[in-house]
Amino acid sequence: MATNRPAWDFDDEFDGGEETCGRVIVNLYLYIRCQQPGYRILVISRDPGAPMELPAWCRMTQNELTAMQHPYYLITLKPHLVRR
Amino acid sequence: MANTFCVTITHCKTDPDKATLGFVVANAAQGSEKETMVFLSSDGVYCAVPEEAAKIDEGAPFAPLKDLMDKFLKAGGKIYVCTPCMKKRGIAETDLIKGATPAGGAALVEWLANGSPAVAY
Q: Above pLDDT 90, what percent of chain A? A: 77
Which residue type sits at A64?
E
pLDDT tens digits for range A17-47: 888 889 999 999 999 999 999 999 999 999 8
Q: Above pLDDT 90, what percent of chain B? A: 97
What is the three-class DSSP state of A40? strand
| pLDDT, mean over chain B | 96
CB A41 within 8 A of CB A58: no
Average pLDDT over residues B19-23: 98
Whether pLDDT at B89 is above 90: yes
pLDDT tens digits for range B32-88: 999 999 999 999 999 999 999 999 999 999 999 999 999 999 999 999 999 999 999
Strand partners, B107: none
Question: Residue A27 falls within a domain, yes or no?
Answer: no
- Shortest alpha-carbon distance between residue B104 and chain A (Å): 27
Cβ–Cβ below 8 Å for A18 and B71: no
| pLDDT, mean over chain A | 93
Enumerate the residues of chain A whose CB falls inside 8 A of the CB of residue B23. Answer: 22
Distance (Å, whole) CA B75 – CA B36: 10
DSSP B35: E
Structural domains for chain B: 4-120 (3.40.1260.10)
Q: How many pairs of residues across A and B have Cβ atoms under 8 Å apart?
A: 53
- CA-nearest residue of chain A to B76? A30
Cβ–Cβ below 8 Å for B31 and A57: yes
Instruction: Tell me what pLDDT residue B55 has.
Output: 98
Residues spanned by the domain of A75? 39-84
- Shortest alpha-carbon distance between residue A54 and chain B (Å): 10
Question: Residue A21 falls within a domain, yes or no?
Answer: no
Instruction: Tell me what pLDDT residue A1 has.
Output: 54
The domain total for chain A is 1
